[in-house]
Amino acid sequence: MIDKFFTIVPPWLIVLLVIFNVLLGAAAYLILLERKIASWTQDRIGPNRVGPAGLLQPLADGIKMFVKEDFRSKNTDKFMFTIAPIIMMLVVFTAMAVIPWGGVYQGTLTHESPDAISIPHGATLVGDPEPTGNGTEVVSTYRVPFQVFDANIGVLFLIAVLALAVYAVVFAGWASNNKYSFLGGIRAAAQMVSYEVPMGLSIITVVLMFGTLSLNEITEAQARYWFGFIPAWNIFCQPLAFIMFLICLHAEANRAPFDLAEAEQELVGGYHTEYSSMRLGLLLMGEYVGMVITSAVLVALFLGGWHFPGLTGNVDPANPSVTTSLLEIVLRIVVYLVKILVIIGVFMWVRWTLPRFRYDQLMNMAWRGLIPISLFGMVGTAVVIYFWNREPVDGVLLISGTQAIALLALNVIALVVFAVAAKMLPKANPNRKLQVPGSRFNPTQPATQLD
């Protein structure tokens, strides 16, 4: 019955439609959640005027955004000014495509003849269709992932697409023709470029371990147990990479304490200073949806994605993601979303706890802290797994319990090494003055026209 339905409306389309709309709604409600969390940390109650406990606040905000005048100040670059929010939205929704929301569904279909086999779009047949003995009827077993597009280069795709978000910010800053916006754009660009490196390195660590770029397969590989009871999530064997990745996500999302691009106090809102009405709405929504997507990636890479003890299908031991129960698929999606929500909660909690970094601290942290550590972690992981001659299971390398312990040990070693190294490294002087030729501070050349 449902299988017939899937041939008409393929699962990827369902996922696309549902998730797309859920995300749009979620972005609005995330703003409410953000405000609530802000209030709670500050001993307030937060929005409570519109609807019960302020629950209709996002609606009111949305209406406000829509009905406000679409204002563009005089000397802006019209084209770039317009496409910046569009790029923002486009990028985050494109990234959504490769997120493995619910694992793989296995179903059966009865066809009238072996020549008229029609399975849902995006599904693959398992084995050959078998005749039922009822005329020419055959029964086929097919598997279909609950994911918009199960790309085998999923991770690469994600990095590529998310990196495009910086264009939106830079375009917005540049097109606004406002010095604050421009500064915001420039800061964002430098920051995103810097933090993409440790982010990429932590992702490579994970990719190395499993030998695959497909997010679906990486999730599936974590849907197992070490020593029979510990979920084989990457956070347990690569805690350092997890933390690096989490930090980088904050930076990528331009959120406190990395919100230098929109620092209200210094830059009056940064790249979106000149934006108003729905254009601003799109930029903000893009930011929040981006947060959801990047958290989804984090969950997929380190927290086992949809996996939760008890939710592994047992149709095919080599592929724990395969299940024949749609209910299980739905439960997995719920689990996935809850994990994302927790991560986003952490994002917000951090935002209302930590003050903003200074720009040099920000750069120091990326280039002197995160990049060396994640580089060390990556190389170490490569060395550790090199010594195990593992057999791929269905194209994926797996991490056994002992390997996990070895990797954990490696993480601890990395921490100790860096603790020692940090003491020995020469300290950067945060107040050093760069001697730019011709500047007032350059003692080598007499300052002439300036003083």
Taking CA atoms, 142 is separated from 110, 121, 311, 322, 383, in Å, by 11, 11, 20, 11, 39
- CB-wise, 53 or 393, nearer to another protein? 53
Instruction: Report in angstroms how near the CB of residue 42 gets to another protein at its nearest.
Output: 7
Q: Cα-Cα-Cα-Cα dihedral of 165, 168, 174, 180, to 10°? A: -80
Instruction: Report in angstroms how near the CB of residue 289 gets to another protein at its nearest.
Output: 25
- CB-wise, 31 or 370, nearer to another protein? 370
Instruction: Report in angstroms how near the CB of residue 37 gets to another protein at its nearest.
Output: 7
Q: What is the distance between the alpha carbons of residues 167 and 431, in angstroms, rounded to a whole number?
A: 31
3-state secondary structure (DSSP) of residue 391: coil
3-state secondary structure (DSSP) of residue 9: coil
| Those residues with Cβ within 8 angstroms of residue 446's Cβ, 6 or more apart along the chain or in another chain | none
- CB-wise, 10 or 239, nearer to another protein? 239
Instruction: Report in angstroms how near the CB of residue 224 gets to another protein at its nearest.
Output: 29
Instruction: Report in angstroms how near the CB of residue 62 gets to another protein at its nearest.
Output: 26
DSSP bridge pairs for 226: 230
- CB-wise, 45 or 125, nearer to another protein? 45
Instruction: Report in angstroms how near the CB of residue 355 gets to another protein at its nearest.
Output: 9
> Which residues make up the interface to another protein (CB under 8 A)?
37, 39-45, 243, 349-350, 352-354, 365, 419, 422-423
Q: What is the distance between the alpha carbons of residues 373 and 293, in angstroms, rounded to a whole number?
A: 25
- CB-wise, 5 or 40, nearer to another protein? 40
- CB-wise, 389 or 431, nearer to another protein? 431
CB-CB contact of 188 with 362 (8 Å): no
Region label for 304, one of left (φ > 0), alpha (ψ between -120 and 50) or beta (otherwise): left
H/E segment holding residue 191: helix 179-210
